[in-house]
Structure 1
Amino acid sequence: DGRSVHDAAVEGGRGRLQAILMTAAAMIAGMIPLALGTGERAQTAPLGRAVIGGLFLATIATLIVLPAVYTLVQARVRTLSPTLDPNDPSSTHYDPRA
């Protein structure tokens, strides 16, 4: 609707921020007992810590890195998508016989 790529990325991030953070927080909270690995579960502690670290980094990447890369890539792409309509003269699929 005429907005810049940056504005679209920011608005999309705002719209999904709460869902992403709540999902990550719930998963991290669920992995804390595994990461602490007390008693007989001590052998699973490295797995829990790795999952928590990976989830934390993936959340940061989803919220910061992915929108930044999207903005950079889309800034170099044509703003208007090409039409596929064979009746539209500006289309690469234009067929004057149709």
Structure 2
Amino acid sequence: MEHISHIWPTIRSLADDLGTPYTTVHSWSVRGRIPPDRDLDLIEAAKRHGATLTLEQLARARRAQTQEGAAWWSRPRPLTLLLLFPKDPSHGINMGTVQ
């Protein structure tokens, strides 16, 4: 959503302009993407702000986000195992991680 932050600096401002609940737009922000079916709404709302936003800009931003996500998943990372132990007062441990 960074590609539109120059038009809507806050989640609240975008939610208000789209007539969408704050919680919905916040969820988009957490996921880092706006559903494609809202593209035309975004373009119209940007026009009301005197800003230019095109389908091509939105598509390029979406592609960049997809590529960033793919790059993140392809990076080597250490394996983390989560071990669950039964609660046992004799050792006081109920969960641990091993890397």
Q: TM-score range by the shorter chain?
A: 0.3 to 0.5
TM-score with structure 1 length normalisation?
Answer: 0.37
Higher normalized strand content (fraction of residues): 2
TM-score with structure 2 length normalisation?
Answer: 0.37
Higher normalized helix content (fraction of residues): 1
- Relative CO higher for 1 or 2, CA cutoff 8 Å, sep ≥ 6? 1
